Amino acid sequence: MFMDTPKGVRDADVSAIAALDEPTRRRLYDHVVRQLSPVSRDEAAAACGLARKTAAFHLDRLADESLLDVVYERRSGRSGPGAGRPAKLYRRSAKQVAVSLPDRRYELAGRLLAQAVEESDATGEPVREVLYRKAEELGTQLGEQDRTNVFDLLEQYGFEPRQEDDAIVLGNCPFHALAQAHTQTVCGMNLHLMRGVLSGLDDAGLEARLAPQPGQCCVRLQPAD
């Protein structure tokens, strides 16, 4: 399973980015990530011209948002009794933060495409056929894992579903730029992803069809014939 950035994670990313909007906090973050080794509160305060208490408050806020990692080290080089307490230090977190409005999932498309190329190279099966199969398998996994209704599931992953009579229109394409440049490949991938979602949810009342319209995803979920 590698569907990235569900709503809860995206909300956390928004919170993390909002934390960096505070100028003092951003200066501290920029200072810490430029260093080759972890930074103490005193070092960060001195580098940014801040009171130690102020630096500590903002550094801990950055750590709470998972933008910085906290580590403890003895700076004296000694160990054992009398060596003193380890210092609280800060370093760049491995967390990646990205927020896109409207919601975009280019990492997902890249992973599917990479898998398709690798499997095609190993088996000789045409790349596009592998891509569509992988997309449908992923959609099925999503539906089986999240046994909710299709509307809520698509909302969670950024498709912005809208009810239109008996059909569901997808107001946002998470692969928009790719779909613009490589329409047949990416829209086909999206179609098979949606077919998988419906299969995983065991929703026989709807079927996914290509129905491109300006300003919408190329796929539309319509009542099954």
Amino acid at 71: V
CATH number at residue 201: 3.30.1380
pLDDT reading at 24 higher than 70: yes
**Taking all residues of the chain, what is their mean pLDDT, rounded to a whole number?**
86
pLDDT digits (tens, 9 = 90+) for 135-191: 999 999 999 987 778 988 898 888 989 998 899 999 999 898 899 999 999 999 999
**Which residues constitute the domain of residue 77?**
7-92
| Last residue in a domain, options 61, 92, 123 | 92
Confidence of residue 116 (pLDDT cuts 50, 70, 90): very high
Residues 19 and 123 in one domain: no
Q: Which residue has the higher pLDDT, 68 or 83?
A: 68
Cα–Cα distance between 135 and 137 in angstroms, integer? 5
- What is the predicted pLDDT for the residue at 1? 41
| Percent of the chain at pLDDT exceeding 70 | 86
- The count of structural domains within the chain is 2
DSSP lists the bridge partners of residue 77 as none
- What is the predicted pLDDT for the residue at 18? 77
Q: Which residue has the higher pLDDT, 48 or 95?
A: 48
Residues 132 and 196 in one domain: yes
Residues 69 and 124 in one domain: no
Confidence of residue 7 (pLDDT cuts 50, 70, 90): low
pLDDT reading at 58 higher than 90: yes
pLDDT reading at 101 higher than 70: no
- What is the predicted pLDDT for the residue at 98? 60
Token digits for 156?
């969670």
Residues 30 and 88 in one domain: yes
CA-based max dimension of the chain: 79
Query: Residue 148 domain-assigned?
Result: yes
Residues 36 and 140 in one domain: no
pLDDT reading at 83 higher than 90: no
| Last residue in a domain, options 92, 116, 150 | 92
Nearest to 97 by CA among 121, 119, 68: 68
DSSP state of 209: E
